[in-house]
Amino acid sequence: MMRDDCVALDARDPLAAQRGKFALPEGVIYLDGNSLGALPRATSARVRNLIEHEWGEGLIRSWNAAHWIDLPRRVGAKIAQLIGAHPDEVLCADSTSINLFKVLTTALRMQASRPQVSLRQRNVIVSEKANFPTDLYVAQGLVDLLGQGHELKLVEFDEVAGTIDDRTAVVMLTHVNYKTGAMHDMRALTSRAHGAGALMVWDLSHSAGAVPVALNAAAADFAVGCGYKYLNGGPGAPAFVFVAGRHLAAIVDDTYAQPLAGWLGHHAPFDFDAHYRPADSIDRYAVGTPSVVALSALEVGVDTVLAAGIDALRAKSIALTQLFIELVEQHCAGQGLSLASPRNAEQRGSQVCFSHPHAYAVMQALIQRGVIGDFRAPDILRFGFAPLYVGHADVWDAAQALHQVLAKHEWQRAEFQTREAVT
Ligand SMILES: *Cc1c(COP(=O)(O)O)cnc(C)c1O
């Protein structure tokens, strides 16, 4: 494959026109859409209109007139289309960490309220050692808070299925691993969890907008995910939460099933009732006032993904990640890189990672050359391929830049050695 072949592939790419919808700076190849999605051009106008007209002129009237109050459900319903959920099962709110706290608590309460059929206590949360740290902190924090003898059991990627047994209350997994891009089999693991009587919580932070997800086809119980990665919602965008309809119907009688009981999760917030009565819908997963400006930016980001279509995005993502692996292994052979992502595209999300003993400095030198990826401790170079705005020629150029950085020892320069707060 030569660069011209990549240019030809871009010319035939049905998604090529999507790139123009993003405000990317000249001279930058952006391979970090898995950490912070690029800015859709339409976002600035949308946010400006919201601030100047809806807020500036409409003032408080805009909660109704501009439908601000509907944003968490409206954007949630759009995300539902990307994750195989029903529109009534998804709400946008808070951060991924906080949503995880809510659903994990619900899941443990559901298990506690079931009649016990065995002498063994069902009190284990199974997760992965290499899960995103916030997921593990939230789970351990909840275990400590409850003080009911739950145990957070962490195992390797391949050991999850074999660990699930009659003591497992909840299996909590991130579908696509943030560091390696390795993807779990959602259907098989959910079914394994259910077979053992456990409930299944999925974190879709690196899946939503990147790979097709079929939560209901897999019979998933709960899910959470991030708005600022492949959904292009902007820095700190609100997250989303999914609760399967069958559970929403079943938990109506458990007033505090969602532990962060707040006024906007109330059945009738504007009754200002001193007694908490949760909404009998996904609305009960709301806590306080939604972040309206951020939600409007997120809606524009989600629209960019919906317009392209998740299946077309996945097909291009596989082509780009496969090409990057091939080119890097060909052009950077013998330069200390080894593939840290699954080689089989079926088992990989939309990112490719290589390990290198000096990964931090190598990534800084690449960024200096205009190829923006990121570093994950201790030794991972991470490249995310958002097919909305990354093309085949970008992949070629990025692989060449990596070759130059390594072959010319550019990464050894002193300026690339100091670590900043955010890597
Ligand atoms: C990005 C990410 C998060 C982010 O959580 P926030 O609370 O939104 O900061 C959580 N989990 C996973 C797996 C992630 O990749």
DSSP for 262-284 reads: -GGGBSSGGG--SS--B-SSGGG
Cα–Cα distance, 76 to 83 (Å, whole number): 10
Q: Is 187 a catalytic residue?
A: no
Query: Does residue 132 carry a catalytic annotation?
Result: yes
What's the pLDDT at 314? 98
Residue 116 has pLDDT above 80, yes or no: no
Q: Which ligand 1 atom is the nearest neighbour of the CA of 97?
A: 7
What pLDDT sits at residue 420? 83
Q: Angle at Cα 162 formed by Cα 158 and Cα 163, nearest 5°?
A: 100
Is ligand 1 within 6 A of the CB of residue 34?
A: no
Host H or E run for residue 174: strand 168-174
Backbone angles phi, psi at 65, to 5 degrees: -65, -40
Q: Which residues pair with 171 in a beta bridge?
A: 126, 200
In terms of C-beta density within 10 A (0-12 exposed, 13-18 middle, 19 or more buried), how is residue 415 classed?
exposed
User: Is the CB of 176 inside a 6 Å radius of any atom of ligand 1?
Assistant: no
Q: Which of 199, 227, 206 is nearest to 127 (CA)?
A: 199
Cβ-based neighbours of 182, under 8 Å, separated by 6 or more = 157, 176, 341, 342, 347, 348, 349
- Residue in 203, 283, 303, 394 annotated catalytic: 203
Cα gap 41→389, rounded to integer Å:
12
pLDDT at 128: 98
Which residue is closest in CA terms to ligand 1's atom 6?
96
174 in contact with ligand 1, CB cutoff 6 A:
yes
Indicate whether residue 100 lines ligand 1 (CB < 6 A): no
Cα-based angle 227, 233, 235 (whole degrees, multiple of 5): 90
Annotated catalytic residue within 101, 178, 222, 228? 228
Q: How does DSSP classify residue 55?
A: I
Q: Whose CA is nearest to atom 1 of ligand 1?
A: 205
Closest CA to 222 of 96, 308, 335: 96
Tens of pLDDT, residue by residue over 141-199, are 999 999 999 999 999 999 999 999 999 999 999 999 999 999 999 999 999 999 999 99
**Contact, 301 vs 237, CB < 8 A?**
yes
> What is the per-residue pLDDT for 423?
78
Q: Containing H/E element for 90?
A: strand 90-93
Q: What are phi and psi of 92, to 5 degrees?
A: -95, 130
Give pLDDT tens digits for 188-229: 999 999 999 999 999 999 999 999 999 999 999 999 999 999
pTM of the full predicted structure? 0.97
Mutation pick for ligand 1 pocket among 226, 353, 380 (CB with most ligand atoms within 8 Å): 226
Ligand 1 centroid distance, CA of 153 (Å):
20
235: CA distance to ligand 1 center in Å?
Answer: 12
Indicate the DSSP class of residue 25. P
Give the nearest ligand 1 atom to 135 CA: 11
Segment 43-64 mean pLDDT: 98
Percent over 70 (pLDDT), the chain: 100
Residue tagged active-site, from 122, 382, 389, 397: 382
Ligand 1 contact via 96 beta carbon (within 6 Å):
yes
**Alpha helices, H only, 67-223:** 71-82, 96-113, 133-146, 160-163, 186-195
Is 203 assigned a catalytic role?
Answer: yes
Task: Output the CA torsion sign for 374, 378, 381, 386.
Answer: negative
Name the average pLDDT for the chain: 96
| Catalytic residue from among 122, 229, 284, 376 | 229
Phi, psi of 64 (to 5 degrees): -95, -55
Find tokens 């080894």 and name the residue: 338
Q: Is residue 130 within 6 Å of ligand 1 at its C-beta?
A: no
Q: Residue 166: which of 197, 201, 128 has the closest Cα?
A: 197
Distance CA 123, CA 79 (A): 32
Q: Is 242 a catalytic residue?
A: no
Q: Ligand 1 pocket: which of 101, 134, 137, 422 to mutate (most atoms <8 Å of CB)?
A: 134
Tens-digit pLDDT profile for residues 285-320: 999 999 999 999 999 999 999 999 999 999 999 999
- Nearest one of 328, 351, 340, 339 to 406, comparing CA atoms: 328
31 Cα–ligand 1 center, Å: 18
Give residue-wise pLDDT tens across range 391-412.
Answer: 999 999 999 999 999 999 999 9
What is the rounded distance in angstroms from the CA atom of residue 256 to the CA atom of residue 102? 10
Q: How large is the C-alpha radius of gyration of the chain? A: 22
Respond yes or no: is residue 120 known to be catalytic: no
Q: Give the pLDDT band (50/70/90) at residue 252.
A: confident
